[in-house]
Chains A and B, each alone.
Chain A
Amino acid sequence: MSSPSLSSPAVGDFSPEAFAAHLAALPADVPVWWIERKRAAYARFTDLPMPGPTDEAWRFSSRETLTLAGFAPVTATPVAGAAAAARDAAVPALFSVADATASLTFGDDRLVARQALPADLASRGVVVATLQEALRSHPDVLREHFLSQPQKLGSEKFSSLHAAFVQDGAFILVPKGVEVTAPIVVTHASAGAGTAVFPHTLVILGEQARATVVDAFVSPDATAPAGPRAGAFACGANDLYVSHGAQLTYVAAQRWSLDTLSFQLNSTIVRRDARVQSLNLHLGGRQARHESLSQLQAPGAFSEMLAVTVAADAQDFDQRTLQIHQAPHTKSDLLYKNALLDRARTTFSGLIVVDPDAQKTDAYQSNRNLMLSDDAEANSLPGLEIQANDVRCTHGATSSRIDPQQMFYLEARGVTPAKARELLVFGFFEEVLNRLEHEGLHESLRQLIATRFH
């Protein structure tokens, strides 16, 4: 970390010295290309300005509370002692999946626990590894797919920062024709308070493969009063590559501590006749920006993009999505639901782009906000950019309040107003959560959501 006088707002604590310390802490045998990419990414990060007032991609965003200062990348000085113990204790208390087939748990970007794949799946070529392992075992696949997609939603600065400081993460590869029925679970835990983490998950499904992958992001809420380095920083990326005819269910459950500034940058590629269902659950963070890009690259591709957000207290959630139809007969279906309480704020900005030859595109985009407080604020910016003439594209955004008749009905059964509101929020989310086929996962998410109400 650098002294304040040396850092500019566009670099913050991610100074050249901090980057040099990060490089110095890398294992000695990482490939040269990995280090070169990191250097290039760091240069790009320092070149790019912080989002400005005229950036369309940051319209309605709370730019004034974006900061890169106050956080130390934990790769140089690992979190230890009581903070690490609190971090590791928070994981099972917040999130668990009953029947995971394999799991990786990272504590501040270092592997702290794992559940190995069953032998039969491993023998068929399924890989659930860390990035550090994959750098040695699958360098070519990693080099081809690692952060290979363009950043089209405004956060190139932060994706560059991620690439520069990423320490470790998950590498999941399911080869052609292999079906993994139970979820593969990756947990990224952070100790919070003054730390910066760069969680990464890369999922690659071969032709006709099937898998369910869960990314969970958790950190313990601070119980001590806020100090000078009380905040936390998380800048994660998750890239999904789904080959011909493959089917991926991807769930990202974000429950960072409530003082975290979080970026979550997702990119999905859907090939011919492939099907992706992604569900993002947003619960934590002081300010959390999520960008999700779906590229439908070949006929028959289908991307279902789902999100559920509980925005409470003074939380600020910023969600940017892009559905790009690059081939005919492709389908995308986006449903983002937000429940807003207290003084919370949400922004949804979604764009559907249909390329000129992507005829017979079927695209849908919907953002629905349930307002539980007069002081909450929901912004919606739905958009279409259609260059083909034979398509079906619909989009819409709605905001509604809790129905007083429903409230009275629940209260007339003895349910307290607070619990009644919680039930109605769960009811509102159920339309989204119900789309998950996996019952156990559905229940895990419900329990995680409940932590925001008690």
Chain B
Amino acid sequence: MSSLEIRDLHVAIHDKEIVKGLSLTIRSGEVHAIMGPNGTGKSTLSKAIAGHPDYTITQGDVLLDGKSILEQEPDERARAGIFLAFQYPSEIPGVSIANFLRAALQARLAEGEELDATTYYKRLYQKMDMLKIDRKFTSRSVNDGFSGGEKKRCEILQMAMLEPKFALMDETDSGLDIDALRIVSEGVNALRGPGLGVLMITHYQRLLNYIVPDYVHVMYDGRIVKSGDKTLALELERRGYDWVKQELAPAAPAPATVHA
């Protein structure tokens, strides 16, 4: 059983504070959804946890299994078990998916240990079949000229191969038509299990029809302002984000209490 604890996190970009004291603990097997209006700091949160160099953590901590990861480089955090599914995955011309994933898996082995090619391809093809990805994909360059749906499936494929402890999924539903959304969601659902914790960031409730979360948090102005179960998402869908803003209007809220 692993845990990812975000403790009073403050994140700034170019001296502007975006995340303003956010606390949340995710355990293996749990799926948490963070919802909120645009510009509220959702994506910043996920990138900062993954170690993006543009974001500065000014206060607070992020602990993986009780140990702070803030001193670690992005690649160290990834090898420790953090996976960021990008909202806008980079295109890497000339680097095939097969070679890329091979390098990523090789990086997780001890010095001098070699990845077994046969086992690797067997596993890769098995995951691709699960995600309904054509095997010809492996020789294509990473995300190069991919459709929005292909890019997101490629992210899920990487997640399936790298088997992280915690996945931070940044607007995984953005840019997907309903068929692509279904395929991607099926992929995530297939990976759900006792060994994986998920933080799902989304603007729309739609995704949560496909990936049903255990907990839903509403983020507003850099903080979690409301937490609940999946019914909270439905309420948000019905009443809109204005409802949250209005509720908050009279007085600044106490920091949201999260399940213990």
Contacts and interface: CB of A to CB of B under 8 A. Distances in A.
Interface of A: 403-406, 408-417, 419-420, 423-424, 426-431, 434
A406, A409, A434 — which one has the most chain B CB atoms within 10 A of its CB?
A409
Contacts of B79: 414
The 8 closest A-B pairs by CB, nearest first: A427-B94, A430-B94, A414-B78, A409-B90, A427-B95, A411-B74, A413-B104, A411-B75
A416 B75 contact: yes
A434 B73 CA distance: 33
A321 B92 CA distance: 30
B100 A429 contact: no
A285 B104 CA distance: 32
A413 B51 CA distance: 12
Interface of B: 50-53, 73-75, 78-79, 83-84, 86, 89-90, 92-95, 99-101, 103-104, 107-108, 141, 158, 162
Contacts, number: 79
Nearest to A422: B103
B108 to A, nearest CB: 6
A430 B104 contact: no
Contact of B99 (A411, A423, A434): A423
B78 A419 contact: no
Contact of B162 (A406, A409, A414, A419): A414
A430 B95 contact: yes
Nearest to A416: B75
Given A411-B78, A412-B74, A413-B100, A406 B92 contact: yes
A366 to B, nearest CB: 16
Given A409-B86, A412-B75, A430-B95, 20 more contacts: A404-B53, A406-B92, A408-B52, A408-B53, A411-B75, A412-B50, A412-B78, A413-B78, A413-B101, A413-B158, A414-B75, A414-B104, A415-B100, A416-B107, A417-B75, A423-B95, A423-B100, A426-B95, A426-B99, A431-B93
Contacts of A413: 75, 78, 100-101, 104, 158, 162
27 contacts: A406-B92, A408-B52, A408-B74, A409-B90, A411-B51, A411-B73, A411-B74, A411-B75, A412-B51, A412-B74, A413-B75, A413-B78, A414-B79, A414-B162, A416-B75, A417-B73, A423-B95, A423-B99, A423-B103, A424-B95, A426-B94, A426-B95, A427-B92, A427-B93, A427-B141, A428-B94, A430-B93
A415 B75 contact: yes
Contacts of B90: 403, 405-406, 408-409
A411 B73 CA distance: 8
Contacts of A406: 90, 92
A122 B78 CA distance: 57
Contacts of B94: 426-431, 434
A114 to B, nearest CB: 33
B84, B90, B108 — which one has the most chain A CB atoms within 10 A of its CB?
B90
Contact of B89 (A409, A419, A431): A409
A405 B52 CA distance: 9
A409 B78 contact: no
A412 B51 CA distance: 8
Contacts of B78: 411-414
A429 to B, nearest CB: 7
A141 B122 CA distance: 54
A415 B142 CA distance: 14
